[in-house]
Amino acid sequence: MNALNNKKWWPYLFIAPSVILLVGFLFYPIANVFILSLQDYNPTKPYANGFTGFDNFTQIFTGDKIFYSTLVISLKWVLSEVVLQLLLGLILALLLNQTFRFRGLARAAAFLPWAISGVITATMWSIMFNEHFGVINDLLKRIGFISQNMAWTANPSTAFGSIVTAELWRGIPFFAITLLAAMQNIPGELYESCKVDGGGRWRSFFSITLPFLKDTIILTTLLRAVWEFNNVDLIFTMTGGGPANMTMTLPMYIANQAIKSNNYGYGSALTVIGVILLTIFAALYLKFSGFGKEE
Amino acid sequence: MNHKLEKYCSLFLYRYLPLTLLLLFIMVPFYWTLNTSLKLEGDITKMPIEYWPAPATFDNFIMSWNNVGFSLFFRNSMFIALSTVLIVLVLSILAGYAISRFSFKGKNAFMLLLLCTQFVPGAMLLIPLFMQFKAMQLTGTHLGLIITYSAFQLPFNAILMSGFIRGIPEALEEAAEVDGCNRLQAIFHVILPILIPGLVATSVFTFIGAWNEFLFALMFITKKSLFTLPVGLSYMQGEFDINYGALAAGSVIALVPVVILFSYVQKYLVQGLGAGAVKG
């Protein structure tokens, strides 16, 4: 009871359970992955398990063609998702920031995909993309864009575009929500004085809105880039990384090594590379968010 | 007259046209899933495609709920999500309170821990966490998932909660302490009642996160009777002969709680995400 009355202990008592949970189940496993990456570990082949030094890494960098292609596809994936989501999210936020009837309803509807899981998103879009009875084939045929049905998610040239579209659907709200929040902090007088000076819609957008949103855009883009890099469940459900590894990102490759091939050692080595890549992003985020400066 | 026409034109071009197009893009998948789930099995694959389910039927829902096992998946997901909410709620109130009310050695390090864990990638933890849980004999159990989801959901919600608590004047607690409450009693009787909207928002975000998670549930759970909804959906798509009506109905079943909860809290989202995730 004495310790409880001593105020010095309070904050530590309060954060202790959180620290235990985070260190025990997020940090400790991440640290563990470094040890695991130096081993051959496959639960289905216990006779071959054991330390092999840097063999996994040597194999990744010299003999694994899929690894290099996953880096390129990850980059393509992150870039296309972030750029398209940012652009459409910004437009959506600008639209929803105006006052009009049913704005509340429009906002609720527009934000909804944010809450939908990758698996459900993938399922919904897979039904729409279906080769034989998909509504997308039907609509595109009606407007004369295509002449015969396409197998969107199974065709190597359209599979990537298909998963990008489905994830775009799920990602626009994130930018719309965060940018809308930032827009509401812009003082209205700025726009009024811009109007007095004869500035039109575009002028006020480029000289007031955009500069004001700059910091938010940088931070949300970095955060989203990390999240999209890590995104697996949608790809896993829609294409499984196929066809011909055309949609195999690095995290998807790791998940495949773990879930489909039981190659825990090799998958861990890939994970280590992923963690190092992500650390760069996290450092950038911390730098831009000015962490530690205020406190 | 001409001026009025110009105004309508610009309103249409700059507001209603783009808004309609974007909202269409967002709403169509919902409509199409519902439409598919209400069609008779033969009507789903019938050509030309029917844009309206006629006749509408609930057979697919009955099928997926009773025969495919979605009633069980639903219960599993609900149990896991609610348990996660409970843990995250308690821990994030404690952590959020410590951050916003105390200055203590190591506070910055703790903040950094919270921020960094927002970047810890799910797929990258798949293998080490699986090995760890195997050693703890927690694979194949819901408890393993609950612990994992709590760890993943905690950082964001603790930051969010600290923001909510910071918004409550400290004088209220001091007044309670003058009245003879100790700190814990003051938190319980003064802070928590004011915090309720924040607690609701936090609970819903946590619930949605746990409800939606897929990879760990896929990796940890092998027994079909323990499946969660996302695993059940993915399992159906792995089958040779996919029943699309039941698949669509399963998706709708998985969507319903999220849509209801989300419609209720989406107004907090603009403040919450703006303050919590982005500004740290």
Note whether B45 contacts A201, CB cutoff 8 Å. no
Strand duo A39-40 + A50-51: pairing: antiparallel
**Which pLDDT band, with edges at 50, 70 and 90, does B271 fall under?**
low
Cβ neighbours of A95 in B, within 8 Å: 15, 18-19, 22
Pick from A73, A215, A223, A238: nearest CA to A169 = A238
B240 has a pLDDT exceeding 80: no
Say which residue, B257 or A50, is predicted with more confidence: B257
Note whether A123 contacts B247, CB cutoff 8 Å. yes
Q: How far is CA A59 from the centre of its chain?
A: 28
**Which pLDDT band, with edges at 50, 70 and 90, does A179 fall under?**
very high
A19 interfaces chain B, CB cutoff of 8 Å: yes
CA B177 – CA B198 distance, rounded (Å) = 23
**Which pLDDT band, with edges at 50, 70 and 90, does A67 fall under?**
very high
pLDDT of residue B273: 60
CA B133 – CA A223 distance, rounded (Å) = 29
Give the closest of B114, B263, B278 to A108, CB-based. B263
Q: How far apart are the first and last CA of chain B?
A: 51
**Which pLDDT band, with edges at 50, 70 and 90, does B277 fall under?**
very low
Give the closest of B23, B154, B269 to A21, CB-based. B154
DSSP chain A: -HHHH-GGGHHHHHHHHHHHHHIIIIIHHHHHHHHHTTEE--TT-GGG-EE-TTHHHHHHHHH-HHHHHHHHHHHHHHHHHHHHHHHHHHHHHHHHTS--TTHHHHHHHHHGGGGS-HHHHHHHHHHHH-TTT-HHHHHHHHTTS-SS---TTTSTTTHHHHHHHHHHHHHHHHHHHHHHHHHTTS-HHHHHHHHHTT--HHHHIIIIIHHHHHHHHHHHHHHHHHHHHH--HHHHHHTTT-STTTT--HHHHHHHHHHTS--HHHHHHHHHHHHHHHHHHHHHHHHHTTTTT--
Among A65-69, B51-55, B211-215, the least confident range:
B51-55
Domain range holding A245?
36-289
Flag whether A15 is in a domain. Answer: no
Region A280-285: mean pLDDT is 78
Mean pLDDT of chain A: 89
Q: What does the pLDDT look like over A192-247, one tens digit per residue?
A: 888 888 878 888 888 889 998 998 898 888 888 988 998 899 999 999 998 999 99
Query: What distance in Å separates residue A214's CA from the closest CA in chain B?
Result: 13
Percent of chain A with pLDDT over 90: 51
Say which residue, A288 or B279, is predicted with more confidence: A288
pLDDT of residue A6: 62
A1 has a pLDDT exceeding 50: no
Flag whether A209 is in a domain. Answer: yes
pLDDT of residue A295: 41
Flag whether A221 is in a domain. Answer: yes
Q: How many residues does chain B have?
A: 280
A271 interfaces chain B, CB cutoff of 8 Å: yes
Percent of chain A with pLDDT over 70: 96
Radius of gyration of chain B, Cα coordinates, nearest whole angstrom: 24
Enumerate residues 6+ apart whose C-beta is below 8 A from B23: A106, A109, A110
pLDDT of residue B119: 73
Pick from A149, A123, A120, A119: nearest CA to A134 = A149
**Which pLDDT band, with edges at 50, 70 and 90, does A283 fall under?**
confident
**Which pLDDT band, with edges at 50, 70 and 90, does B279 fall under?**
very low
Query: What distance in Å separates residue A151's CA from the closest CA in chain B?
Result: 15
Give the closest of B29, B110, B219 to A15, CB-based. B110
Among A87-91, A218-222, B148-152, the least confident range:
A218-222
**Which pLDDT band, with edges at 50, 70 and 90, does B278 fall under?**
very low
Residue of B nearest to A97 (CA): B15
Q: Count Cβ–Cβ pairs < 8 Å, chain A vs chain B.
A: 283
**Which pLDDT band, with edges at 50, 70 and 90, does B247 fall under?**
very high
Region B44-72: mean pLDDT is 87
Residue of A nearest to B267 (CA): A108
Flag whether A176 is in a domain. Answer: yes
Cβ neighbours of A281 in B, within 8 Å: 119
Torsional class of A101: left (φ above 0), alpha (ψ -120 to 50), beta (otherwise): beta
Residue of A nearest to B33 (CA): A124
Instruction: Confirm if B34 and B252 have CB atoms less than 8 A apart.
Output: yes
Flag whether A46 is in a domain. Answer: yes
Flag whether A135 is in a domain. Answer: yes
Cβ neighbours of A242 in B, within 8 Å: none
Flag whether A203 is in a domain. Answer: yes
Flag whether A9 is in a domain. Answer: no
Query: What is the count of structural domains for chain A?
Result: 1
Give the closest of A28, A125, A282 to B29, CB-based. A125
DSSP B61-80: HHIIIIII-HHHHHHHHHHH
pLDDT of residue B180: 83
Mean pLDDT of chain B: 88
pLDDT of residue A266: 93
Q: What does the pLDDT look like over A102-137, one tens digit per residue?
A: 888 899 899 999 999 999 999 999 999 998 888 999
Query: What distance in Å separates residue A157's CA from the closest CA in chain B?
Result: 22
The residues in A 167-196 lying below 8 A from B, measured between CB atoms, are 169, 172-174, 177-178, 180-182, 184
pLDDT of residue B184: 82
User: Which site among A33, A86, A124 would you substitute to test the B interface, given the most B Cβ atoms closer than 10 Å to its Cβ?
Assistant: A124
Cβ neighbours of B237 in A, within 8 Å: 123, 126, 237
The CATH number of whichever domain residue A157 belongs to comes to 1.10.3720.10
Pick from B111, B206, B278: nearest CA to A19 = B111
